[in-house]
Amino acid sequence: MNCIETDNNYAIQFSDRQNLIIDRGFGTEVWDPLGGRYLDFTSGWGVSCLGHGNPVIIDALISQASRVMQNPNSGFTYSPSRSRLLEVLQPLLPGNLARLFFVNSGAEANDLALKLARKISGRKRVVSTLGSFHGRTFNTLSVTGGPENQRRFSSESPATDFVRYGEFSALVKAVSDETAAVILEPVQGEGGVRLPPPGYLERVTELCRKKSIFLIIDEIQTGFCRTGKMFAIEHGGAAIRPDFMTMGKGLAGGFPMAALAVTGQVAEQIQKGDHGGTFCGNPLGCAVAAAVVDFLAANQIGEQVTSRGVELLAGLNALRRSFPGLIREARGTGLLTAIELVAEDQVWELTRHCQEQGLLVTPTRNGIVRLIPDLLVSSQHISEALSILEGALQRLGSRVAAASPAGIDCGSHFRFGGDNNEKYPSTAGQAAGR
């Protein structure tokens, strides 16, 4: 029985699988068991920020694993590796964020932020945005603006109000004296790499201060140089000041690790017993995360990300101009980029064509294909990826043209996204970043 058969026979299948086995990787490249090479422009949903097989991560893993992997009574005892991560990370936190708690995943970090915001404020309502994604736990699904999950699990909370992302006037109307928190992504990732209008996050901060509402910023996908800054809210300067900020994905470069940061004022209102966890600052995860964050800061990786992001987005926009019947828009900031297809049902077909030619991309709902390479990706790999994507688009275009009536523009008769145009409005004009 091979790897695919074993997985299909014994694993719970929560998603469709690509017919692909990844055996090893180094940098931006990965290989299947037969030696087939692929460019990884998914970086494991943005997790493998330093690429595959990076010695910074390997050395930290080996060094810490040889000492201790998990503390006895972990939450009750001190850990040198956890202290080291606190020393590295705390000075990099934006605004007046002062204290940290480490957890296993971004969903857990968001779950904790919501729980604490409601407990401390004594209020129950939360304002979130359509097209958002904050996790798959029952609590985080209640503030994730994708209606399909809420219908499936009956997790839509009567205490959650949804507004369109980027529409400040709608948010003003949604908040009330019963609102505990507003939760936002600086850039919507799963929602399609949707950037807010200039000044939006600053105005939300001001509103939350005026109304004494907690602001939760979800930097799980955007944090750790993904957008060119250590955290995406830094693009707006000091005016964006969250009370809670969640982090994950790139924090430990592939090791399961996430964190919640809070202000000193919030920390003073947290009581013993409000939360805990078996792996709350696991020594192995902390050692890896400290090595990753230290590397990002010491080597000014954010500047490299900005430069490579300009190259990637320029190439995607060139493809948009070459394939107007297939690509509606290209957008992104740093190395968080996407193309929005004219026809939503072509996402998996384009993903398959890319894979067949040696490029791995991330298919996403609402007609979106995301390209999220590691932060150390080279100009040569970006150029190669764009060339492969061009070939995949040519194959897709040929198939669409063959299926279309003669003389009809192959892109003109597709109706994009149905009612999703209302749920997730286009962000045309924002592709260059905030």
- The residue with tokens 């850039």 is 187
Nearest to 235 by CA among 290, 197, 206: 197
Q: Please tell me the distance from the alpha carbon of residue 298 to that of residue 241, in angstroms, as a whole number.
A: 25
Burial of 169 from C-beta contacts in 10 A (0-12 / 13-18 / 19+)? exposed
pTM of the model: 0.89
Q: Compute the mean pLDDT over every residue in the chain, rounded to the nearest whole number.
A: 89
pLDDT for res 253: 96
Partnered with residue 52 across adjacent β-strands are 27
Q: In degrees, to the nearest 5, what angle opens at C-alpha 351 toward C-alphas 106 and 396? A: 150
Q: Report the C-alpha gap between 283 and 287 in whole angstroms.
A: 6
Please give the span between the terminal C-alpha atoms of the chain, in angstroms, as a whole number. Answer: 50
Longest dimension (CA), the chain: 72
Where is 321: in which H helix or E strand?
Answer: helix 301-322
What is the residue-wise DSSP string for 137-185? SHHHHTT-B-HHHHHHHT---TTEEEE-TT-HHHHHHH--TTEEEEEE-
Q: What would the two tokens of residue 434 be?
A: 């905030």
Indicate the pLDDT class of residue 143, thresholds 50, 70 and 90. Answer: confident
In percent, how much of the chain has pLDDT > 70? 89
Residue-wise pLDDT for 20-70, tens only, equals 999 999 999 999 999 999 999 999 999 999 999 999 999 999 999 999 999
Task: Quick: pLDDT tens for 84-103.
Answer: 999 999 999 998 999 999 99
- Structure confidence at residue 111 as a pLDDT band (50, 70, 90): very high
Please tell me the least confidently modeled range out of 90-104, 223-237, 321-335, 418-432.
418-432
Confidence (pLDDT) at 221:
96
**Per-residue pLDDT reduced to its tens digit, 385-410:** 999 999 999 999 998 888 876 543 44
If residue 86 lies in a helix (H) or strand (E), which one and from where to where? helix 80-89
Domains, the chain, in order of start with CATH, read 25-53+301-404 (3.90.1150.10), 55-298 (3.40.640.10)
Comparing CA positions, the residue from 246, 222, 128, 247 lying closest to residue 434 is: 222
